[in-house]
Structure 1
């Protein structure tokens, strides 16, 4: 639970910081005479109840003196309002003016400003409006990297302020346990999602910059609880252990503060979230609540100093250095370069012979299991020139380490500023895995599968790209010598093989393979420019050529960051962008061996199908590229794809393929060169087939996005069902347009396309839909910002309307006939999200359980999920599972269907439960004290029946956690009459047993309410789960009695630490069956499988039931096996319950107790093994999941 400190405690802590002697108060040694190369100013809030963004006057004074070599970081966004509505909002100009006024005090500051998200950026603010504020502030200050991390993402964002000083910026609101960032639409596009991935990225940045002066700056979410804060700090501290001298800054303390622990410096800028307790591991070297800020100074001699400046009050422009301390000293890049420049070293003209790697050699069994792959190619030595960093490109210097998770790489720069990349051929994928997986089979398999990529594949790709007319980089292979001129970057590089190539960025006018472009940009910049300026466009045909080339060489990893773009000026206005693929590590990736082959199934990882003679599944192969292609290939028709496929195919002559493969080192060519060439020649025959198949996949739903300027969208429906969509530039103030202003046109065929989605985005857009036809394509119009207009005079035969209009009601005017549906009140209003595409899913299911009645209960089935527009998390889901109980030879089938937002915003659920003829169940009589004689074979208490239960329910979500559903239900039961069973001995004078073996049927209604706030359903640590279900049924046969039934369960979970993690769980449940003559199988049951452990299935039957389960789950430890990581714990429980029957005066309460062990493989699923004890029996219970 959240820690709320009483106000008097907060005030006392502030007074204490003020009045008590402050360590370090008098410690203000003078700075050395060395030049200050850069200054970082850290500012938090400076008043506990600050309501204005007006800065501390002292800070303003310092900013005017700081100069260009400085960076100001606000730890928490001080600017108000914290969010901005869209540009068309009526109050937008007023809010802009408020922000602009607050930025005045930054005028004259020559350095860089960084604003980190703060307290008022959280608390449920709309992420899009936070981004609006970010864009506006950036525009006013002329700084496109103002708010970091960007886009309301968690980061980490790495900012290099000098060659030696790197800032690492982190927003902790997404690091709180169980906050599922990946479920939020607005978070798509962030490089990391969730705490685990973010922390792994932090670790990677730290390890990649061991030689730098690192300053980690963290904004602490006000929603973070005290315990969560401590756990996060502990995790970060573990990462910091190998980075002595690192500085960690945040704004969570009630005071300006500096403390040191384990050679790490912690700096707080004061007066942050008051519900946070500062970490108390050490006494601070300095602490004061006086208004002020911190300065970190980096000197030319490698020293780093901290200064804390304070003012007498918040209104004073005068202040003093209240505290100064030397934090660390590291040799600077300049010092190291001067040291090695005097070395007379040269490797020009020299060679070395070495293998790419020796770690992929494998036994025959391992090759059978994981594939032969390119293991010989990796382990065969090749002779390569030595890389001479002092001579290559006229001499290079290392700018920074890079490489991300899998490669070790360096960014190099020549004397002109042109940059290059030198990266290892060997990969280190374990860094991309969560820490718990790094000593498991998962790490071994991931590492081993590097052998499935060709170590020298880039040498083949380059001439093939030339033949196909595809832009490319120009990689060269070198042996990296043990060269001291690499300095501190030499570790991990010496005596390895490296790949050296240009870094495609900015001016590449001297590189023909990149079109001699004067400017090369990244995908993010292309997206930004094409949205802001309708004259800027992507050359989709050149991109298609590059994508078909990807198919040919089996390069499956072509997401946004794998592309750069050559920028060319148009003859008129605007720019055109042509694609430059980069990073060809996955070219010719093979899939061999039992495990990889299974992993490539459509329901696991179909993208890794491998470099075979043909592609098995073009849709699955392109999984990583699903959003990229749907963003940039929207304007091409089938004829364009066919023409380009034929052109690409024709370029790959036998001679071109043989020449390309011959670029491999001779001893590598002897191993697999001919096989590589023959496979390429075989794949050539399928280029057109793959192109058409993939075109059909992309054509099913197409997004046509406008820009932030005004456009005219014209939709022409034709008689044969063809729909022609055209987009024109237009004057925002009129509806006029000219054919010469057309920026998009495509013909959509009903046989290919289900729907087209038109997004106006910004500007005052105009949509016109016209024409008639016998059939047509669904067209969705999403207006966006601005005052939009829709005119629909179209008509398509049939009952369905095919034009759907979405927008804010006050942001659009509509003139429509019979074909349009006005959905402007649809909630939520759709927005353009280019990263929203989800694949349909079809995969297997499995279930298991063991109990004394059924023995082993094993099952299998299938899960199918289909996606649809604005249907979250799916449009429909079908779950079908069949199970077989070996002890009773009984078969069960369960089907659950869920259809999202079918009509009127309502979901539809369809449930079917079928128990096969001969299904075995127990009945011990109607009584809370029914007898069970364990000396009698359990078969005596069993009866066999066939049962069918069906319901169809409509409902919707109520808030974030609740749902309500209601609808018709049907039940049919046929009980067999078996002699010498308990049921056959009962008197027929009781209507509940009369004609019990006659077929029964019932029809009626069911209602369901569910409230689920559990953090994780499979392994809950906190929250509640409340379910209420009611049936009202009428007998449809003469022997079927009317009845009603209501049941409810309430489960509560809370976790504490003692110091182990202990989860206390309790469940209250019960029910009542209405009617005097309901059948025995319609009563309320208590049993050991679902409600009361330690008893047989359906042990007690009555008209009313109540039970309570209380369980303590203690998490003992987490361990890592070779197969998987897992968490292990123990549990103990106590259950109590009873039933009530009219006419019975029973005071008995039945209890059960016991315990067991549980473990959670991969911390995703739970397997529990329990032993249950009651006054009647001692029974084992093994199942997937906890009891509740």
Structure 2
């Protein structure tokens, strides 16, 4: 009995101890990454978690991205949709019927493997998870937003989720026009800092898909096996030895990385910026997936990689990795009551699971020292008012600075104004701080008053990153961009409301305050202390109800057809923008009030954020760039210049919310606005500026407003004409009836809502379109069972594009109108008739794709400056014309035409070149045209062979060959993946020789250099064909810093004249740009290539050449000519600084190069490789043009080249 009692006691003690250990765990986070595929219909890792981990209320299962391979969740019309969602179901089943929770975050594969459809793919996946309706399952961040999302696990632990693929995604993603709470990288970092400040004493777990440290494949883990047998990464047993060649890929990827690798500059830049913020928190653990392995890394922080939820790849153990494993499995973080954090790694093999590693990571029981700016105090007293300037940073410019950057509104910024002091605990009854927003310099706080209304408090000194477009701001020094903010009026927001109210436009009523160094601001004290700020109501609706964002409104309009916008009120608000010259009116600048009509919801606009009203600069710099690069910055001028470009940022907004208004509606509304904007109204509005500010420029502003009002009809109708050119008529996910009928001189389009597949009288859309005013109407059914009907007697020059969308659509096209029908090939769609229709039916659901944002303006650049000087050609001067148009589903453009002319005064020669592209002219294939006329050439010829001599006793011009030629090529081009082009087509070439031009030159005696005299002097015409492949993923057309451009061509020409033979060539040229950082200050450029002529006999002008104009700088142009050639070049470009020169600010750097090459000829023996070294400087103002000066040195010559154009080395 005693033995039995003792045994029972031991067992009970053991059970008690196990229970006690379990009870000490206050939180358990299960980490599973890259779980996006099944194995024989099962999910071994998910099943192992269910078997081995306690699924209680303390447990969170965190899926770390790549939840579906290979392209995320496809459209439900795809065959693979059912299989894909079953993978998601298997992952989410781990918490089925348990109190445990799941949070799923996206990875690159969920974003369509980082592809163009990435945004749609990740949103589809989130919507599917949400529609399951499981209360213990969440998908973060939502709507493709970047985050960060703050999730409180308990009183001591905070999980922070960020979508890292959003950060590095190169295609469409939610940004400033979206409904995301944080829309830019800067805002993401600002919010991270806010989360850290508010959770300083807690454990912070930072989760995103891409690891910030890794020793797996994405960290450059390549061993000897991958160098010798490179194909084993793709196929496990592909042991095909490729020594040396096999090293090219692993070395380049280890050093430079793909966009999904830690070494890639964009990826590395994300890591650097996030870690810079996170280092302020004392207890942070990073958790990731992406690499298909298990890793515990101790470095700047503790990093856990758990990315082998369904796949495994190699991983390397280092001194910083206490644990690594190449095997499928998962990890857990267990937090105990004593605030000890332990990591456990589990390896899963089939049905077996074992804990392979366990270690304490950190203990956060010791409280960090509280930062002084977070100590609250309410005992400080402040004055009621204070005299302060808006900012002093624009005061006291030099005379030259004023000339270049303008006087602008500097006086308004620097003048003392009497401000009311903002007392956060007293103003409006006292405020509670909800959250932080804004960018690097413009900060904002969301505040809540005692009545439950939300307000925004923000600093008024503008953020240059918000004010100046990216392609411009990156080429300017920070202080120059900041100084240009002086062209914005600091108090313009005070003048706008009175103007708006006079025309019944709803806007916020801002107030200006001075914010003291107030401890009541807590964490945000230092951000707002001693700054002038603007306070305004977040929802200034007419009835005090909550407003909606533009993104939310668009969702409602798509979901149901009873959500409409009062477009007349939108037009009045937009006319106000034109009068005050506010160019910054993107989607996020608007909110929407709601009126219930009884039949649905009618929305009215609320225009926010008047930072750019009255924007005006009198500096030469803005005058120059506003004529070409940034035409929307023409400014607040009396004559309202460039009206279409003033509205550039709102072009898609206007196409959505003004698409029902015809010419008559515009004219009537404009005249109504003009009549209400009386001189008195405008004067009263401007007098609302602070008393100290009005005397400075108030009268001029009034005069300008009066002038702009007077010409508003004329100018606004120019913009109407631009909008009317092509119109989108958009249905909804419910069913609609689209009817197109004939009217005098045009068409009428009417859209009715259908209920239960029956027609109703509820009219959603009704507009008349005029021939010659509208070129194209696009009807989008979206989802639902839609009917598209064109009446029988309809005739018009206006083109129709009809996109059916999902659902059982019916097309009845009987009229005489050119039209295109788009839909999925499906038996449920009915085409009753299709007169004059071009059917664009497809099995791919993307045929029904619709985008709210798709409008581009035609781009014209003239003149495009070309100039230079080099030792061979002397002075070169020229110009160019470039025109690019855009069209329906034409990517990246509809047509591109470039003409350039170059003149060399010293040689009395000129050349004219044309390059044209027409996209999708032949279905999905393009037409590409090249032509060139040179009269005469300024080429050199030194004979054929690799060992030809340069006789320096001869005059410089002796080796010049002057002949005329004309070339024409026309190609049929097919593009793949936007990076690869295959093209083929005919070629024509004409050669004309003038003996007088070659007197006393090398071609005077052709036989002396092995040429046939009669052949040289005879005019010739050739006809042939070319086929080629072009691979191009350069990140910039003008000055690339990363990517590859590889062109390979095979061509053949035959003479169609009496003289001449035939020539068949093969050439291949590759250039690789590699930068090791972001932004790129050091770029390596590697060039190599070669070619071969297959004919034994060919003309001297058909030879393959090396020289200053062809891969061998430091030698004369065409210095070596032969039947074969090979070359290589290494060039380093180092950016030294961004110039602060007001005339042409831009990037300044140095370049150094080493070129090597040679040619071959039949019956010639030569082992010589020609080598040239050189260097120089470059300057890239405004990212518009390259200015360069280089010297090339060889054993024969020292050659100088100065160029202004689109490349570093311009020759004739």
TM exceeding 0.5: yes
Q: Within 2, Cα distance between the matches of 1:793 and 1:431? A: 50
Q: Which residue number in structure 2 is paired with residue 1112 of structure 1?
A: 1130
* TM-aligned CA distance change 1:651 to 1:251, over 3 Å: same
Deviates more, 1:230-239 or 1:513-522: 230-239
Deviates more, 1:882-891 or 1:666-675: 882-891
Q: Which residue number in structure 2 is paired with residue 822 of structure 1?
A: 839
Q: Within 1, Cα distance between the matches of 2:1093 and 2:1002? A: 24
Q: Within 1, Cα distance between the matches of 2:977 and 2:689? A: 61
Q: Within 2, Cα distance between the matches of 1:112 and 1:535? A: 37
Deviations 1:115-166 (A, max 9, x none): 211475264675334432221212223789943344556x253447599987
Q: Which residue number in structure 2 is paired with residue 11 of structure 1?
A: none
Deviation at 1:848, TM superposition (A): 4.6
* TM-aligned CA distance change 1:1057 to 1:333, over 3 Å: closer
SS at match of 1:489: helix
Q: Within 2, Cα distance between the matches of 1:524 and 1:249? A: 31
Of 964, 967, 987 in structure 1, the residue corresponding to residue 982 of structure 2 is 964
* TM-aligned CA distance change 1:1172 to 1:480, over 3 Å: closer
Deviations 1:522-581 (A, max 9, x none): 111111111111111222222112111111111111111111111222212x32221111
Deviation at 1:171, TM superposition (A): 3.5
Q: Does 1:641 align with 2:661?
A: no
Deviation at 1:820, TM superposition (A): 0.8
Deviation at 1:427, TM superposition (A): 2.7
Q: Which residue number in structure 1 is paired with residue 966 of structure 2?
A: 948
Total equivalences in the alignment: 1111
- The answer as to whether partners of 1:88 and 1:787 remain within 8 angstroms in 2 is no
- Residues 346-745 of structure 1 mapped to structure 2, 5 A cutoff: 347=382, 350-361=384-395, 362-429=397-464, 441-504=476-539, 514-572=541-599, 574-601=600-627, 603-718=628-743, 720-731=744-755, 734=757, 736-738=758-760, 740-745=761-766
Q: Which residue number in structure 1 is paired with residue 1067 of structure 2?
A: 1048
* TM-aligned CA distance change 1:1120 to 1:1172, over 3 Å: closer
- The answer as to whether partners of 2:28 and 2:332 remain within 8 angstroms in 1 is no
Q: Within 2, Cα distance between the matches of 1:421 and 1:1090? A: 60
The CA RMSD measured in Å over matched residues stands at 4.5
- The answer as to whether partners of 1:245 and 1:327 remain within 8 angstroms in 2 is no
Q: Which residue number in structure 2 is paired with residue 904 of structure 1?
A: 923
- The answer as to whether partners of 1:860 and 1:883 remain within 8 angstroms in 2 is yes
Q: Which residue number in structure 1 is paired with residue 1108 of structure 2?
A: 1088
Q: Which residue number in structure 2 is paired with residue 220 of structure 1?
A: 210
Deviations 1:952-1011 (A, max 9, x none): 222222555432333333333332213333322335999842274554444444444333
Q: Does 1:325 align with 2:358?
A: no
Deviation at 1:32, TM superposition (A): 11
Q: Does 1:836 align with 2:836?
A: no
Deviations 1:366-422 (A, max 9, x none): 222111111111111111221121111221122222123441221111234322111
- The answer as to whether partners of 1:253 and 1:278 remain within 8 angstroms in 2 is no
* TM-aligned CA distance change 1:81 to 1:1094, over 3 Å: closer
Q: Which residue number in structure 2 is paired with residue 211 of structure 1?
A: 197
Deviations 1:897-927 (A, max 9, x none): 11111123321112121113x4433233455
SS at match of 2:1129: strand
Q: Which residue number in structure 2 is paired with residue 13 of structure 1?
A: none
- The answer as to whether partners of 1:356 and 1:455 remain within 8 angstroms in 2 is yes
* TM-aligned CA distance change 1:327 to 1:424, over 3 Å: farther
Of 741, 746, 758 in structure 1, the residue corresponding to residue 767 of structure 2 is 746
TM-score with structure 1 length normalisation? Answer: 0.83
Q: Within 2, Cα distance between the matches of 1:253 and 1:1085? A: 47
Q: Within 2, Cα distance between the matches of 1:1168 and 1:59? A: 67
Deviation at 1:476, TM superposition (A): 0.9
* TM-aligned CA distance change 1:281 to 1:516, over 3 Å: farther
Q: Within 1, Cα distance between the matches of 2:476 and 2:1010? A: 62
Q: Which residue number in structure 2 is paired with residue 43 of structure 1?
A: 31
Of 786, 789, 814 in structure 2, the residue corresponding to residue 768 of structure 1 is 789
Deviation at 1:842, TM superposition (A): 0.8
Deviates more, 1:582-591 or 1:814-823: 814-823
Deviates more, 1:1163-1172 or 1:672-681: 1163-1172
- The answer as to whether partners of 2:477 and 2:1139 remain within 8 angstroms in 1 is no
SS at match of 2:962: strand
* TM-aligned CA distance change 1:816 to 1:405, over 3 Å: farther
- The answer as to whether partners of 1:73 and 1:115 remain within 8 angstroms in 2 is yes
- The answer as to whether partners of 1:310 and 1:321 remain within 8 angstroms in 2 is no
Deviations 1:89-129 (A, max 9, x none): 67767866775575455467789854211475264675334
Q: Within 1, Cα distance between the matches of 2:1075 and 2:457? A: 50
- The answer as to whether partners of 2:144 and 2:174 remain within 8 angstroms in 1 is no
SS at match of 1:824: strand
Q: Which residue number in structure 2 is paired with residue 133 of structure 1?
A: 125
Of 791, 795, 820 in structure 1, the residue corresponding to residue 812 of structure 2 is 791
* TM-aligned CA distance change 1:448 to 1:46, over 3 Å: closer
* TM-aligned CA distance change 1:938 to 1:1088, over 3 Å: same
Q: Within 2, Cα distance between the matches of 1:1046 and 1:253? A: 45
Of 275, 294, 298 in structure 1, the residue corresponding to residue 333 of structure 2 is 294
Q: Within 2, Cα distance between the matches of 1:657 and 1:1056? A: 54
- The answer as to whether partners of 1:1093 and 1:1135 remain within 8 angstroms in 2 is no
* TM-aligned CA distance change 1:1003 to 1:1057, over 3 Å: closer
- The answer as to whether partners of 2:462 and 2:485 remain within 8 angstroms in 1 is yes
Q: Which residue number in structure 2 is paired with residue 509 of structure 1?
A: none
Q: Within 1, Cα distance between the matches of 2:342 and 2:1010? A: 90
- Residues 90-109 of structure 1 mapped to structure 2, 5 A cutoff: 99=88, 103=92, 106=95
Q: Which residue number in structure 2 is paired with residue 1138 of structure 1?
A: 1159
Deviations 1:438-480 (A, max 9, x none): 9985312221122111111111111111111011112111122
SS at match of 1:708: coil
TM-score with structure 2 length normalisation? Answer: 0.82
SS at match of 1:492: helix
SS at match of 1:764: coil
Q: Within 2, Cα distance between the matches of 1:115 and 1:374? A: 50
Q: Which residue number in structure 2 is paired with residue 14 of structure 1?
A: none
Q: Within 2, Cα distance between the matches of 1:1096 and 1:1048? A: 22
Of 976, 980, 983 in structure 1, the residue corresponding to residue 1003 of structure 2 is 983
* TM-aligned CA distance change 1:116 to 1:1166, over 3 Å: farther
- Residues 19-98 of structure 1 mapped to structure 2, 5 A cutoff: 41=29, 43-45=31-33, 51=39, 52=43, 54=46, 64-66=56-58, 73-76=62-65, 78=67, 83-87=72-76
Deviates more, 1:830-839 or 1:937-946: 937-946
Q: Within 2, Cα distance between the matches of 1:40 and 1:690? A: 64
Deviation at 1:932, TM superposition (A): 3.2
- The answer as to whether partners of 1:618 and 1:690 remain within 8 angstroms in 2 is yes
SS at match of 2:364: strand
Q: Within 1, Cα distance between the matches of 2:751 and 2:1128? A: 64
* TM-aligned CA distance change 1:55 to 1:774, over 3 Å: same
* TM-aligned CA distance change 1:785 to 1:441, over 3 Å: closer
Deviates more, 1:1044-1053 or 1:246-255: 246-255
Q: Which residue number in structure 1 is paired with residue 105 of structure 2?
A: 116
* TM-aligned CA distance change 1:243 to 1:553, over 3 Å: farther
* TM-aligned CA distance change 1:144 to 1:663, over 3 Å: farther
Of 923, 926, 933 in structure 2, the residue corresponding to residue 914 of structure 1 is 933
- Residues 868-879 of structure 1 mapped to structure 2, 5 A cutoff: 868-879=887-898
Deviation at 1:753, TM superposition (A): 0.7
